[in-house]
Structure 1
Amino acid sequence: MKPLADLIRPTQLSEVCGQQHILGENKILDRIVKSGRISNMIFYGPPGVGKTTVANIIAEKAGKRFYKLNATNASLKDIQEITKELDTFLGVNGVVLYLDEIQNFNKKQQQSLLEYIEDGRITLIASTTENPYFYIFKALLSRSTIFEFKPVEEEDIKKALNRAIDIKSKEYNEIKLNVKEEAIDYLASYCNGDVRKAINGLEIALNSTKPNSDKFVVIDLSVVKDSTQSKVISYDNDGDAHYDILSAFQKSIRGSDADAAIHYLARLVKAGDLISICRRLQVIAAEDIGLAYPQACLIVKSLVDSARELGFPEARIPLAEATILLATSPKSNSAYLAIDSALNDLENMTIGDIPNHLKDAHYSGACKMGRGVEYKYPHSYPNHYVHQQYLPDNIKHRTYYEYGDNKFEKATKDYWDRVKK
């Protein structure tokens, strides 16, 4: 018996749930299907959002011989078998090759398609859950149009669930199917935009529930919660979701939004990614809080060490404390900007030699070479300061550090303004 997700798979673009930004009336993919002239395309997006379904619909409308490969188990030999048919009667009009999970093909396998894509004998429709700019050969990218599929909205997922319920109801004879609205709402929210995950949850609930004495199969909230167990969080340790959540986490702290920061921390905690959280918190303390509150680095280091020692689930508590501390602290990126500016000069300027008076003079003969001769020892002067040149001649007027507009750095600036005057 086919899985429920396959039973309800749309055969027309109008039946596809969501993706209206590319599938809606007169949107780009809608126009392509209506024209019947398809080009090379790459569908990019999370699982269960309709990439394979849309690819199948477009391929069938093209009027060409259709091949489908999954890059997780396909090989170079499979591609060669397809290319052999291009010069036969079977491939006289060209072929459409749907390549699912293309990120699993290595560079050589992807390159093997180039010749046939270039002359139009193969029209490629590929799908991937990974960022195509990181995983797909550049020559293929330049010959393809990338379409991003987004997580499906809850209202659209509910439409798919109701369609599945209607189809499944027809399989029952005397037995009636009663899926409560609360159960549908929960499935639509639990799956995080993955239609297939929602349909699979419904299918498990249906298959595991027996009719009651009134010959009703009742699917309520408790049944679907039991069938789905734990809510799915889109996350992987080296994919887009990983970096997107970490990026949102840091930007929320930088933006001083403690609520958003705690939300993204919760996602990372749910994924069990302790190492990434700890590393990112320490980076934020230095990069975004910086000299506005220098003690933040010490406090965060202590909390991070505590989290590592505790492990999950208790680690969530010191991590939350560090996150809220950083989000609500004053901000300064003056140190971050200073070091990046200095590094940029190293790459793009002729820096010149270190001034002689700053060079090492702790060896015999240093004086004869002028090393350290004119150096002034600051501690021998009032306020432990004396004016002298420290930067190389070529950049002696460069300023890398600009005092931040916060209490700590303002006080530091006022002190040095008084001393240096």
Structure 2
Amino acid sequence: MIIHDVETYSQEEMKALQLKRLKETVKRVTAKVPFYQEKFNELNITAEDIQTVEDVRKLPFTKKEALRDNYPFNLFAADMKDIIRIHASSGTSGKPTVVGYTKNDIDNWADMVARAIAIAGGEPDGVFQNAYGYGLFTGGLGIHYGAERLGMATVPISGGNTDRQITVIEDFKPTVIAGTPSYILKVAEEMEYMGKDPKNSSLKFGIFGAEPWSEEMRKVLEDKFGIKACDIYGLSEVMGPGVAMECHESQDGLHIAEDHFIVEVINPDTLEPVADGEEGELVFTSLTKEAFPVIRYRTGDIASITREKCKCGRTTTRMSRVKGRIDDMLIIRGVNVFPSEIEHFLIQIEDLAPHYQVRLRREGTLDVVELHVEVTEEVYQQVNNDIQHERIKLVMKKVQHSMKNNCLVSMKVKVLAPRSIPRSEGKAVRIVDERKVAVTV
């Protein structure tokens, strides 16, 4: 369901709209934000230097450090009397990153997410189960406002309380569920553990994001629930969920809300643009944000883009699903590996459950990488709960062989009983660093 004609604009129409809004954004930040005033003065750039959309490349990059250095409100481009909401990151690696919203920002965000939910298959007469966490994290409220804007009966259950999630699925008959893929998988597994078949539910579509997940994980979720599972993208610094959304018709790239953002893909080392279809770091410039506009924000996410028209009828630029984050990349004896690549091959091993953790620890002066995986309940019962059984040892060898041949890395592998790896009610913890000093392995 296409709910706004901007989703089918020609490239010329979209660029004309983007250019108008880009100039307005540049004027806003140079008038209101000291950080950008200084950066633009250093480059001797004004809004008059922006004559085409491609001129965005003349502007300075913004990195997450800038948000922390200007904590909490120094990057706001609106007076506090006009700020009606504040979100923030968890701040696990330093000061939290704080973002603000005016009433217009909230309205635009709701429209954007409503479009995203419609792209994924949501319809106004459906029931929407929102299992994203509410609070400082943008996911819960961002999705909530969009679902209501679309006209769906929205159930704000938030993350966690898995038994209640199952009760809502059974009693409220939702047509769409949203959450992190790892947590929704946990819901499905708990239903199975209780003797219930998730495929018998009313669910038709799933909207999953906030963590990288593989095509294989998509197949697992779709098979368990009998749904179409679609990827949603966003980050609080740029807006929140709804920056891009995968359509249920083709599930081939995420449609970017280009009327609100300009997307670039750059080589993270040279900072030069890469060709369409080539992977690099995603960079976003906001076009309509009043409280917290961002110029060329380096997301750290690795993906590619295509500008080809989608079979769903939309013409907006699409981004590939995120391969991983630059700072999540493991360097194992000189080989670069993303957790999503490990997941891609693990899920193809028949006797394994779709849960894993990469644990980094130190033995003497050496760094050791150990991959923890789980066998399925069925396999565990067949070997009489014996984790030392020969079949379990064969599974371990399969995993080691797959990692060596497909990911080109050698790892120690530990095969665990079902439900041994901790499940998260939010983002899955895929990497556990047990070393006292972080070093390259």
TM over 0.5: no
TM-score normalised by structure 1 residue count: 0.29
Higher relative contact order (CA 8 A, sep 6+): 2
TM-score, length basis structure 2: 0.28
